[in-house]
Structure formats: structure tokens, C-alpha cells
Amino acid sequence: MESKSYNPFNVAQAQFDKVAEMLELEDGVRELLREPMREYQFTIPVRMDDGSVKVFKGFRVQHNDARGPAKGGNRFHPLETIDTVRALSMWMTWKCSVVDIPLGGGKGGVVCDPHHLSAQEQEQICRGWVRQIAKNVGPLLDVPAPDVMTNSQHMLWMLDEFETINGGRFPGFITGKPVGMGGSLGRTEATGYGLVYTLREALREHGIDITSTKASVQGFGNVAQYAVKLYTELGGKTISISCWNQADKTSYTFRKKAGIDLDELLAITDKFGGIDKAKAEECGYEVLPGEEWLEQDVDILIPTALENQIHRDNVDKISTRVKFIAEGANGPTTPEADEVLKSRNVFVIPDFLANAGGVTCSYFEQVQCNMNYFWEKDEVLEKLDTKMTSAFSAVSELARKKKLYMRDAAYIIAIDRVAKDVKARGWV
């Protein structure tokens, strides 16, 4: 997660410093916003299945809660570090702010590898995490969610422990719960659909008919599958998709120039988003090397797999036809590649705007839980569309007016809102 040469918190602070300079923020505001407001680090002793005791390290970082309770995932990872959590919590502040939901930024985690832990041991970690931090989290303070290697079951264990400690039902304490147990309809679709709402608006603003466009997608997991679904429903044509092949330990690109058939591909895809190579060949797909998703003759690229996928060494392989990149993954484009895309006038919908549909729907989950009344799926998706569309419009209008790159415009809007709120509250 973090090597000696790459410290995500240094990166997050450098990004912030650049925008703080553009916004000419006062020193006090800069000093406050470049650090998390609160950080908790604690131990979680667990009685293991073999009778021994193992002590795990837990974190929760609340970067800023001026705009509302902190919000962000709890991840389980053997290489988790406090600096990773700090960076992710700061990015959550900007993400919630750019879509203008009344939440701040938080993140947490436990240093552990769930692959090597029984369900009982994982449950003890979840309950232990809550016991250590129960007084500092809650529906009005800080609302956790699933993240890397945590799921809805972990969220339910955490919720149950929180409710046991506090003596009541507080379903708004945590999001990412299963539908029927406090989860929101539409959460599964939210990130992929949210991305396509922003893409639809970008094309509309450029006077491009979506039905005349072609796209190539990296990744075929939750975000990609729903992004392709809605893009296809709106009339777009996806011609290639890449994904990881666990057996061959490499990635492949699956291409059908006439347009992929989503249902056909879903039928031969495993739960990790891996497409069966032999069956895809039988269905008439060309199987190409993994990195070729980026080299296709398309109008739109949608990276929805991993970070650092468009970089200095491959950015020049992007076809001159590509005019839009909608970033579903977090951090798919390196700063060097970003400069190239900027100079080529590619319209980039930056990650923390394009993939904010997930957190926006988590916010809806929290709202529904707090009032104990749940909306129909159509209502959730309609509200999501409204939020994503207005967030996109605000960013693109600023970019147009001030001739800014979309990523810079998004950061300016997000950071400016938080800066104004910490000042309005009289904190600085």
C-alpha cells in the first residue's frame, strides 16, 4: 500500500498545497486543512481460534467535519499505515464536498489480512474496533462504510456492537449494510451509474450525441458493469473491456468491434469481475493483451480497475480519437500522464467527481436510516442523477469560465467549500 518512495499522504498534501495557492487561502486555513483534525490509533486484542491472543492495530482518522459528520470506509489490509488512512480521509473530505453532500472526510482500518482469519476472528476484530472508538463515531459524528476487504457482514457486526454499547437502534451509524437490514436500494448501481450521469452531461455540453460514441473500459467489476449497462442503455457502444485473469495471472482485453453484449459477458464473468477467456472466444470476442484497452479507436476511455493505469509510458498510445476519459477507479492517471492529456485537450472527468456516486448513495442510505423510511430504487437513482448532474455542471462551468483543467476545477470547488465552512464556523 505504501513504499518508502510513495507516501500517499505527502501526495494528498502536495495536491492540497497547489490548490490552496490557486485559491490564495490564508495561512491558518491551509494549516488546518492540510492535516486531519483528529486521529485515533488503538490496539484490538482478539482471542484467536487456537486459544492464543493476537493484538491488531486499528485506526480512524477524521480529516475534517466542518460540513457534516465524517464519512469514509474502514479497510482491512496487512500493509495499512496511518499515512494511507490520513490521505484517504483527506480525499473523502474533497469527494463529499465536490458533490455537495453534508458530510466530511474520514477513513479507518485495521492492519490484518482477512484471507487468513476465520469468520469468528473477523467478527472479534470488527467488534473490538467499535469498542475502542465507540465514543468518537456515530450517526452525528463519523459514519464508517465498507472498503478494501470489508463487506456488509463486517458492517453489520460493527453496527451490532455500536448498538449494544449505546443501548438502542442506530442504523445510521454505518453504511454499506445489506438491503433489508438498513441498506439502500440502488447502492450496487450507484458508482457506475453516477459515472455515466457525469459522462452523459459532458457529451451533452460538447454537443455530442451519445449514440454516436464508442468506449473502451478497463475493469469489469461492480463499477464497470453498471457503467457499461447505463452507457449501453443510453445508446453508447462499448467495444472492449479488459479484466484480470486469475488463472493466467495477467490481464486481457476482450474486444468485439460491433459492440459487446453485456448480458452475454456477464453470464461468463466470475464474482471477482474476471471474464472466462475460452467462453469469450466461443462467443466471438477477440482476446488481446490486457493493456490494449487503452489503445482502441474510441471516443471515450473508462478506467475502472486500479490506480496508476494511465502513465508516462503508455499515455502516448491513446488514440487521437479519444476526447473523453471518465475515471471510475481512484487515481488511475499519474500526474505526468495528466499533463499530456491536458495538452491534448482530452476532457477528463476526475475520479473524485466521476466515482462519487457511491458515497452519495451511502449518504442516502444514512438519511433513510436516520428517518427509518426507505425509498424505492427509482427514487434513489433519480436523486443520485440530480446530485451527480449538478456537481458535474458546477465543475465544468468553473473549468470553462476560468479555462481550467477539469481536475483542477473540481479540487478548487471542493476545497473552497470546506475552507469557507471552517471560516464561517469561526475555526480559523
Catalytic machinery residues? 107
CA 264 to chain centre: 27
- In whole angstroms, the minimum distance from the beta carbon of 182 to ligand NAD comes to 17
CB distance 87 to 70 below 8 Å: no
Q: Which is nearer to ligand NAD, 170 or 293 (CB)?
A: 293
Write down the least CB distance from residue 200 to ligand NAD, Å: 18
Going from the C-alpha of 78 to that of each of 58, 110, 174, the distances in angstroms are 11, 8, 23
Q: State yes or no: residue 84 binds ligand NAD (CB under 6 A).
A: no
Which residue from 15, 150, 240, 355 is in contact with ligand NAD, where contact means CB under 6 A?
Answer: 355
Residue 219 within binding range of ligand NAD, rule CB under 6 A: yes
Kindly state whether residue 103 participates in binding ligand NAD, applying the rule CB under 6 A.
no
Q: Closest distance between ligand NAD and the C-beta of residue 242, in Å?
A: 4
Q: Catalogue the E-assigned strands of 164-263.
A: 214-218, 237-245, 250-255
**Whether the Cβ atoms of residue 385 and residue 65 lie closer than 8 Å to each other:** no
Question: What are the cell numbers at 269?
Answer: 464473468
Binders of ligand NAD among residues 256 to 315 (CB under 6 A) are 273-274, 290, 304-306
- The type of residue at 264 is E
Distance CA 378, CA 358 (A): 16
Cβ closest to ligand NAD, residue 122 vs residue 360: 360
Among 62, 124, 175, 222, binds ligand NAD (CB under 6 A): 222
Nearest CB to ligand NAD, comparing residues 172 and 221: 221
**What distance in Å separates the CA atoms of residue 243 and residue 86, rounded to the nearest whole number?**
30
- Give the footprint of ligand NAD on residues 2-41 (CB under 6 A): none
Binding flag, residue 251, ligand NAD (CB under 6 A): yes
Cα 69 from Cα 101, distance rounded (Å) = 10
Pairing of strands 250-255, 214-218: unpaired
Q: Which of 91, 197, 220, 411 binds ligand NAD (CB under 6 A)?
A: 220
Does the protein bind ligand NAD through residue 393 (CB under 6 A)?
Answer: no
User: Residue 64, interface with ligand NAD (CB under 6 A)?
Assistant: no
Nearest to 58 by CA among 125, 148, 5, 145: 125
Residue 35 sits at φ, ψ, to 5 deg, of -125, 150
Phi–psi pair at 144, nearest 5 degrees:
-75, 175
3-state secondary structure of 301: strand
Nearer to ligand NAD, 179 or 428 (CB): 179
> Interface residues for ligand NAD in 185-204 (CB under 6 A)?
191
Judged by beta carbon, residue 84 or residue 242, the one nearer ligand NAD is 242
Q: By CB under 6 A, name the binding residues for ligand NAD.
A: 191, 218-224, 242-244, 251, 273-274, 290, 304-306, 328-330, 355, 358
